[in-house]
Amino acid sequence: MEQSPPSHRIRVSGDALLLSAAHFITLADGTCEPLHGHNYRIAAEVAARLDEHELIVDFRVLERRLAAILAELDHAVLLPTGHPSIRVAPGEVEVEVTAPGRRWVFPRSDCRLLPIRNTTAERLAQYLAERLRAALPSGGGRPLAVQIELEESPGRAAVCELGPEP
């Protein structure tokens, strides 16, 4: 019987992988949460076949690429541009956001417009996983699987795992 090749994963987490951001979400009944913030803790796992150097990817490269993505979002208001009932209208100086019964105006420099439907922990984890997978080298045609764990408060985390790109 032929034996399967070993499976390898690497993981990074810790105090360098934090994201402080404001957001709101819409709920199943159509209500919109008040604007609030979280100090998200992020962990990332990457799985792939080992390369010729017996690595998936260097830990330092993984951590630097993830930290760079988090830095783009840190200390900002995260806004969903794909939500059917939330209108995000960016101007040069301000961003006006309207939802049923709500209206906000934010400085443009404080906002990050994300191509997602809702800024839930689940969708933010997926957004980070997609960005990280695109930012990592896939040396030698080795497909990379990426998993992001996004903890929005102690004991409450969302996990998104993306399989390797075809």
Residue 130, domain extent? 9-162
Checking if the pLDDT of 166 tops 70, the result is no
- Residue 28's pLDDT band (cuts 50, 70, 90): confident
Is 93 buried (19+), middle (13-18) or exposed (0-12) by CB count in 10 A? exposed
Rounded (10°) angle between helices 59-73 and 121-135: 130
Q: Which two tokens stand for residue 43?
A: 């962990």
Q: Report how far residue 131's alpha carbon sits from residue 137's, in angstroms, rounded to the nearest whole number.
A: 12
CATH number of residue 14's parent domain: 3.30.479.10
Q: Is 125 contained in some domain?
A: yes
**Separation of CA 121 from chain center:** 8
Q: Which amino acid is at 29?
A: D
> What per-residue confidence (pLDDT) applies to 7?
81
Residue 26 DSSP label:
B
Q: Is 155 contained in some domain?
A: yes
Which H or E run contains 89?
A: strand 87-90
Rg (CA), the chain: 18
Q: Is 129 contained in some domain?
A: yes
Read off the pLDDT of residues 61-88 as tens digits, 9 standing for 90 and up: 999 999 999 999 999 999 999 999 999 9
Contact predicate 42/19, CB 8 Å: yes
Provide the whole-model pTM.
0.93
Q: Is 4 contained in some domain?
A: no
CA dihedral 131, 137, 139, 144 (to 10 degrees): -30
Q: Is 3 contained in some domain?
A: no
Q: Report how far residue 48's alpha carbon sits from residue 56's, in angstroms, rounded to the nearest whole number.
A: 6
Q: Report how far residue 164's alpha carbon sits from residue 62's, in angstroms, rounded to the nearest whole number.
A: 16
Checking if the pLDDT of 140 tops 60, the result is no
Could you tell me whether strands 145-153 and 9-12 are parallel, antiparallel, or unpaired per DSSP bridges? unpaired
Checking if the pLDDT of 142 tops 80, the result is no
Task: Indicate the number of domains in the chain.
Answer: 1
Q: Is 1 contained in some domain?
A: no
> What per-residue confidence (pLDDT) applies to 35?
95
Could you tell me whether strands 18-23 and 145-153 are parallel, antiparallel, or unpaired per DSSP bridges? unpaired
